[in-house]
Amino acid sequence: MSLVSVRNLTRIFDVSKPWLNRVIERRPRALLTAVSDVSFEIEERTVYALVGESGSGKSTIGKMLVGLLAPSDGVVDIRGVDLSRETDAEKVDAVRADIQMIFQDPFASLNPRWRVRDIIVEPVAARGGETAGLAERLLEQVGLSARDAGKFPHEFSGGQRQRICIARALASEPKLIVCDEPTSALDVSVQAQVLNLMSDLKDEFGLTYLFISHDLTVVQHMADRIGVLYLGRLVEEAAPSELFENPKHPYTQMLLAAAPKLDGFGREVAPPTGEIPDPINPPPGCAYNPRCPLAQAVCREERPVLRNVGGARVACHMVD
């Protein structure tokens, strides 16, 4: 059963100069398409991972799922409710109560003037729920001590702060947690601890994750389904086994070839050719065509659609 259904999701930002500057300089409006016609579904109690280079639109999609950004077009359907268009405030409030987010920088997302106890119980206290003993119980569940509830965020290490963020996300008993690169700022050993904790909590509480990352080795072990983004477009979607053993899109193949490997000392990998296109003025057709070694005339003229190819969904004219 799908908990989240994203259909034709698009987000456009107006990055134009002020009106008077545009008139004087005779410049048109500048529109940046951060997300372009993205569609996917997240099954209940699974992990869906979004991967791609910086600027590919991963975090923008995550913010639209939790309601921090409104889509320019398309639908984000969570438990049958479209948060951007639903007019029934009670339905929207009920769905938002089941969504939490874990941010990339744990220290920036924690109020430095609040004690950890107040930070963790805030989602529950804001709705008038019972908070007695909640922070202490959650701290122990994420591997910290109940005594830490009286401390301030600056008294913890980076990995401990991320555990506090996880405890805060669990406080309101959510169904969906959007994880925006939750381990990218941590040491490798601490990353493993946090990822194992998140995996255990998923099984214990029946959680559903949207996991945003640029680290393919992380999503390989965490995800049930992986979507690859390039310049705001979903170019491939598959199960981890299929994606890593038989990548079909040239961009996915390039990402996997560039990823570090333990047994890859001394190997030579050809660097990617071409430059990442300007998102304000993307190339016609397939966005990857300026860098693609397989690009043909049709790739420069017609945008490929996602289609089913051997257990995966791929947007490429040359996949056959």
- For residue 43, list its beta bridge partners: 2
Q: pTM (2 decimals)?
A: 0.90
300 belongs to a structural domain: no
pLDDT in the model for residue 104: 83
Greatest CA span in the chain, whole angstroms? 65
**Is residue 270 in some structural domain?**
no
Instruction: Provide the CA 273 distance to its chain's centre, in angstroms.
Output: 26
The domain containing residue 167 runs over which residues?
A: 2-259
Number of folded domains that form the chain:
1
Residue, of 124 and 260, whose pLDDT is higher? 124
- Whether 200 maps to a domain, the answer reads yes
| DSSP strands (E only) in the chain | 2-14, 31-43, 47-51, 73-78, 81-82, 99-102, 176-180, 208-213, 225-230, 233-238, 307-309, 312-314
Domain contains 184: yes
Say if 275 falls within a structural domain.
no
Q: pLDDT tens across 188-227, in order?
A: 778 888 888 888 889 888 999 999 988 887 888 889 999 9
- DSSP calls for 113-169: TS-HHHHHHHHHHTTT---TTHHHHHHHHTT--GGGGGS-GGGS-HHHHHHHHHHHH
Higher-pLDDT residue of 239, 105: 239
Q: Domain for residue 287, yes or no?
A: no
Say which CATH number the domain at 183 has.
3.40.50.300
Residue 277 lies in a domain: no
Tokens (6 digits) for 191: 């990353």
State the burial class of residue 318 (Cβ atoms within 10 Å of its Cβ: 0-12, 13-18, 19+): middle
Is residue 267, in this structure, part of any structural domain at all? no
- Give per-residue pLDDT as tens, 281-310: 888 999 999 888 888 899 999 999 999 888
